[in-house]
Amino acid sequence: MSPKHIVFKKVSHDKSVTVYMAKRDFVDHCDFVDPVDGVILIDPLQLQGRKVYVMLSCTFRYGRQDMDVMGVAFRRDLFLVTRQVYPELQDKDTLTHTKIQKKLLQKLGDNAFPFFFEFPDNLPCSVTLQPGPLDVGKKCAVEFEVKAFCGENRDEKINKQSSVRLSIRKIQFSPALSDVAPVAETTFEFLMSENPLHVKMSLPKETFYHGEPVKVNVDITNSSSRNIKDISLSVEQVTNVVLYSNDKYVKSVAIEETEDTVPAGTSLRTDYTLFPVLAYNRERRGLALDGRLKHEDTNLASSSIVKQDVLMDVQGILVSYKVVLRMIACGTLTSSDVCVELPFKLMNPNPEPAKDR
């Protein structure tokens, strides 16, 4: 094997099956998703005539693993497919293999068998909700897993000693950057004021990378008779939890409260900088984070990009972001809340294109 290639290996306790995979992150490119492929090495003596299966699953966990109410577990399989690997249903020499599979099959010998899965279009990416400081057990999350196991048939109870579970992730990277700068512009009219308040908010680009400051340009022209005060900006994470219903949770991940004012008949044009990063939000329960493997560090969840034709079929957790500008327009008798919103994307940059495997 070339030293440039990292191969993930996991062996069952009884050593009957071993799973080899070249990667554990699979990219959703919107128009297609990287297929899940690998190789399973079997020990015929340990199998004792049993068959070998491999399973790909996407699970939405919305409660602890040990929680069970009236026989109902707090988890739901969004996708589950199982295939028989051994005995072969199709001669492996007639199948199309990736380069890594070919090398593994040559290296491991006759007891190695390939497997291959494709994701459907309507699955979310790997996302987890940040637990509180006192929360224990499994997190609320969308999780993906490859499982290999032995048995007389695929439906019998899986023996943990003869099975292998390998967590994987479905992820998205930033699409090609657009030259269009997002702008939100609106006019507010007030009672007993002849002229309006005009507010314009813009961003230099549509997509920001994790860890990158978000620069916001604000242009306020106050032709009204009211005074503007308590100007604040925030980056809000909008998490849609889609299962039996569509529940929406909105949490601020960066806030800038200013002392700027715009008296009647004046204007204000300035830039503000917000820092929507996990480092400032580690104690915030319920924030959506990108899924992680084991104890790797992570970041705020990336914006979800879903094809319009499958949007209504997607279940799990979908995430979006927006900048929100708030202010108070103070009049002689009453005050009014003024709010302008501008959506944007927060994602990881697309790494260098991988060579054909």
Judge whether residue 277 has pLDDT over 80: yes
pLDDT score recorded for residue 125: 93
Judge whether residue 66 has pLDDT over 50: no
pLDDT score recorded for residue 255: 96
Judge whether residue 2 has pLDDT over 80: no
Least confident of 230-239, 253-262, 271-280, 329-338: 329-338
**pLDDT band with cut points at 50, 70 and 90 for residue 69:** very low
The string of DSSP letters for 119-187 reads: --TTPPPPEEEPPPTT--SSPSEEEEEEEEEEESSTTSPPPGGGEEEEEEEEE----SPPSPPPEEEEE
Condensed to tens digits (0 to 9), the pLDDT of residues 194-248 reads 899 999 999 999 999 999 999 999 999 999 999 999 999 999 999 988 876 778 8
CB atoms within 10 A of CB 109: 8
Condensed to tens digits (0 to 9), the pLDDT of residues 283-316 reads 888 899 999 887 778 899 999 998 877 777 788 8
Condensed to tens digits (0 to 9), the pLDDT of residues 343-357 reads 999 999 988 655 444
**pLDDT band with cut points at 50, 70 and 90 for residue 55:** very high
Residue 334 or residue 196, greater confidence = 196
Tokens linked to 339: 């709010």
Judge whether residue 133 has pLDDT over 80: no
Judge whether residue 328 has pLDDT over 60: yes
Greatest mean pLDDT among 24-33, 99-108, 123-132, 265-274: 265-274
Least confident of 66-75, 277-286, 328-337: 66-75
Helix (H) or strand (E) holding 207: strand 207-209
The contacts of residue 195 (CB under 8 Å, 6+ apart) are 223, 224, 225
Sign of the alpha-carbon dihedral angle for 76, 80, 86, 92: negative
Residue 242 or residue 84, greater confidence = 84
Burial class (CB in 10 A: 0-12, 13-18, 19+), 284: middle
pLDDT score recorded for residue 113: 92
pLDDT score recorded for residue 156: 82
Asked if residues 323 and 202 have their Cβ atoms less than 8 Å apart, the reply is no
Residue-averaged pLDDT of the chain: 87
Judge whether residue 262 has pLDDT over 70: yes
Mean pLDDT of 255-263: 95
Judge whether residue 181 has pLDDT over 50: yes
**pLDDT band with cut points at 50, 70 and 90 for residue 1:** very low
From the list 136, 58, 127, the residue with the least C-alpha distance to 289 is 127
